[in-house]
Amino acid sequence: MGRKLIAGNWKMNGLTGSGVGLARELAERARAAAPLGYDLLVCPPATLLFPVAEALRGSAVALGGQDCHSERSGAHTGDISAEMLRDAGCSYVIVGHSERRADHGESDALVRAKAEAARAAGLTPVVCVGESAGQRQAGAALAVIERQVSESLPRAGDPADLAIAYEPVWAIGTGLSATPTDVAEAHSHIRALLAHLVGEAAAATVRVLYGGSVKPENAAELLAVPDVDGALVGGASLKAEDFWAIAASCP
Ligand code: PEP
């Protein structure tokens, strides 16, 4: 597997001052540490995309959106298309985050349509999957992941232009991260599913990230798990020092 991807999901956090300040600090650190042995990505709220793109210019830190619409344009008040994200300087977009699946009732089919729209606009989708606490307690974690992977991924396109984030819902924002054993089991299951869907060689090029309470204290252990190709980081991505420490934990 190639370079790991460390992605920050700022969610609905940040105003111009704090967001641009955070982006500037990351860009400065990335310039000072260049060349980096991993890929870095930040996904700010839509209102900050343009100023954050400006702050990141000339650094190795990539920009991503947190969601996109499945259509290219049209009468969809409040929504943002993948092409608009691209226009704002994005190269990635998160789709199917569990908060969108829960808050906005997004189905696997819709997530797939969004991932396909992202690809069509030249963005790499980061497709999120992961079971709830109840599903895990019921012994259904792998079955849920299997359904989400087979139904939420784009059908066509280069597998290398795709990332999946395994994010157990019970680990997001709770401080409870999955154990390395749970993560290893889920990631090897996802890799096997991918091999079935796109063939073994192509499956090896898809980056499968872990997300759920990743912090400087547990990052090294989680990033060392086989088949973990990076991390999707929420809360800890809002502090440059913590996000940087997580990235620097890449083996
Ligand atoms: C996330 O929102 O994708 C996430 C993993 O959040 P946190 O790191 O805060 O658990």
Please check whether residue 89 is in contact with residue 50, taking contact to mean a CB–CB distance below 8 angstroms.
yes
Mean pLDDT on 220-237: 97
Mean pLDDT on 187-212: 95
Active site residue 97: yes
Position 201 scores a pLDDT of: 92
Q: Using CA atoms, how far apart are residues 49 and 81, in angstroms rounded to an integer?
A: 13
Query: Ligand 1 in contact with 94 (CB < 6 A)?
Result: no
Alpha-carbon Rg for the chain, nearest whole angstrom, is 17
Mean pLDDT of 110-131: 97
- Distance, CA 45 to ligand 1 centroid (Å)? 15
Task: Provide the residue type at 101 as one letter.
Answer: R
Predicted confidence at residue 150, as pLDDT, reads: 94
Sign of CA dihedral 102, 106, 109, 115: negative
Residue 5 in this model has a pLDDT that exceeds 70: yes
Report the distance separating Cα 43 and Cα 181, nearest Å: 28
Which pLDDT does position 130 carry in this prediction? 97
Q: How confident is the model at residue 1 (pLDDT cuts 50, 70, 90)?
A: low
Assess whether the C-beta atom of 96 lies below 6 angstroms from ligand 1: no
What's the rounded mean pLDDT across residues 219-248?
Answer: 97
Please give the residue that has the higher pLDDT: either 173 or 84.
Answer: 84
pTM attached to this predicted model: 0.97
d(CA 28, CA 30): 5
Distance CA 110, CA 65 (A): 17
pLDDT confidence of residue 160? 83
For the cut 90, the answer to whether the pLDDT of residue 251 exceeds it is: no
Bridge partners of 39? 5
Centre of ligand 1 from the C-alpha of residue 175, in Å = 9
The torsion angle over the Cα atoms of residues 56, 173, 92 and 74, rounded to 10 degrees, is: -110
Give the chain's mean pLDDT.
96
Higher pLDDT, residue 251 or 240: 240
Element (H, E) at 241: helix 240-247
Q: Which of 5, 10, 11, 218 to mutate to test the pocket of ligand 1 (most atoms within 8 A of CB)?
A: 11
pLDDT above 70 for 205: yes
Residue nearest to atom 8 of ligand 1 (CA): 234
| Nearest atom of ligand 1 to the alpha carbon of 99 | 2
Q: 168 CB under 6 A from ligand 1?
A: no
Ligand 1 pocket check for 173: Cβ under 6 Å = yes
Q: What percent of the chain has a predicted confidence (pLDDT) above 70?
A: 100
Q: Using 50, 70 and 90 to split pLDDT, how confident is the model at 93?
A: very high
**What is the DSSP track for 101-159?**
HHHS---HHHHHHHHHHHHHTTPEEEEEE---HHHHHTT-HHHHHHHHHHHHS-SSS-G
CB atoms within 10 A of CB 73: 10
